[in-house]
Each structure stands twice: as structure tokens, then as C-alpha cells.
């Protein structure tokens, strides 16, 4: 069974985001072993300089990279990534399993994105949209798309 980890920067503060994530995490149990790992967000001042932002990205990047098991297929969510349809994501995940990977790690960065080191570790840079979404919403959307993609691969009727 495929192991899927959603690796994120920061915690969900609002109960409704946590409830949505818990629901999709539960649903994913039918298709994979899913878990969510949160790393601590680097605290920045209200109006950070570029040097402060870069230092924060580097610190968060180190925390993220420490959580990625060796031999994982890594998908980073970043605006410059490739846009895939749900069906294309399903095909990609099926291909990952055929290539011999048993673990997929999907990474969502903090409010300033991901460090260059994390992007360099990525096997696939994925963009959900050219639009910008709150990180809490992105987490729910990624979990839903994982559920949809794995459901497509399993032949369920969820995807229409």
C-alpha cells in the first residue's frame, strides 16, 4: 500500500480547516496510508526584509528536508510548478508506484513559499493554479485531490 505524507509548514489554527483535513485523511485510508506532518513555521517580523525572508525559507527548508524519508517521491507545491488535471495527477501517482516508490511526500511551504533546497529535492513541482490560496485551504485542496486521484486509480465513482 502506498504511503502518502503531506508535509506542511505551520499548524492549522481554525477548527473547520482541521475538520476538513481529518475527513480527507480518513477517506484516504481506503487507498493509502496517509499522514500529515507539520514543521514549525519560522517567525518573521510584520514587514520582513528580503534577507529575513531568505533566512526563514532556509530554516523551514531544513526542517522540511529532515522529515523526508530516503527513497521518497517528492512533490512540491509551488506557483511555478506544472499544472495537472485530476486525471493527470492520478496517472502520475500510478506511475510512481510502477517505478517502485512506496512513499510519496507532498510538500506545502509557508507563506513565503519553499526554499530552493526543497525545490531542488523535488521530483515534481506541482502548481494547483496560477491563483494564490491560503495555505490552510491549499492543504485541504491537496488532500481532496489526492483522494480524487487515488479514487480514479481505484475505479471509484467519486470523480465524474
pLDDT of residue 147: 98
What does the H/E/C string look like for the chain? CCEEEEEEECCCCCHHHHHHHHHHHHHHCCCCEEEEEEECCCCCCCCCCHHHHHHHHHHHHHHHHHCCCCCCEEEEEEEEEEECCHHHHHHHHHHHHHCCCCEEEEEECECCECCHHHHHHCCEEEECCCCCCCHHHHHHHHHHHHHHHHHHHHCCCCCC
Q: Report how many domains make up the chain.
A: 1
Structural domain span for residue 41:
3-154
pLDDT of residue 45: 93
Question: Which parts of the chain register pLDDT below 50?
Answer: none
Residue 160 falls inside a structural domain: no
Q: What is the CATH number of the domain that holds 126?
A: 3.40.1280.10
pLDDT of residue 159: 83
pLDDT of residue 12: 93
pLDDT of residue 97: 86
Residue 35 falls inside a structural domain: yes
Residue 55 falls inside a structural domain: yes
pLDDT of residue 95: 96
For the entire predicted model, the pTM comes to: 0.94
Residue 21 falls inside a structural domain: yes
Amino acid at each position: 500500500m502506498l504511503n502518502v505524507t503531506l508535509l506542511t509548514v505551520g499548524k492549522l489554527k481554525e477548527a473547520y480547516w482541521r475538520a476538513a483535513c481529518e475527513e480527507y485523511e480518513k477517506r484516504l485510508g481506503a487507498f493509502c496510508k496517509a499522514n500529515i506532518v507539520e514543521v514549525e513555521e519560522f517567525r518573521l517580523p510584520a514587514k520582513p526584509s528580503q534577507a529575513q525572508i531568505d533566512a526563514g525559507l532556509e530554516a523551514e527548508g531544513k526542517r522540511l528536508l529532515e522529515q523526508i524519508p530516503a527513497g521518497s517521491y517528492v512533490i512540491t507545491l509551488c506557483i511555478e510548478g506544472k499544472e495537472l488535471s485530476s486525471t493527470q495527477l492520478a496517472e502520475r501517482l500510478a506511475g510512481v508506484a510502477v517505478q517502485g516508490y512506496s512513499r510519496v511526500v507532498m510538500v506545502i511551504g509557508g507563506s513565503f513559499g519553499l526554499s530552493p533546497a526543497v525545490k531542488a529535492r523535488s521530483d515534481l513541482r506541482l502548481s494547483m493554479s496560477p491563483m494564490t490560496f491560503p495555505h490552510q485551504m491549499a492543504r485541504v485542496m491537496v488532500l481532496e485531490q489526492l483522494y480524487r486521484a487515488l479514487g480514479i486509480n481505484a475505479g471509484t465513482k467519486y470523480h465524474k
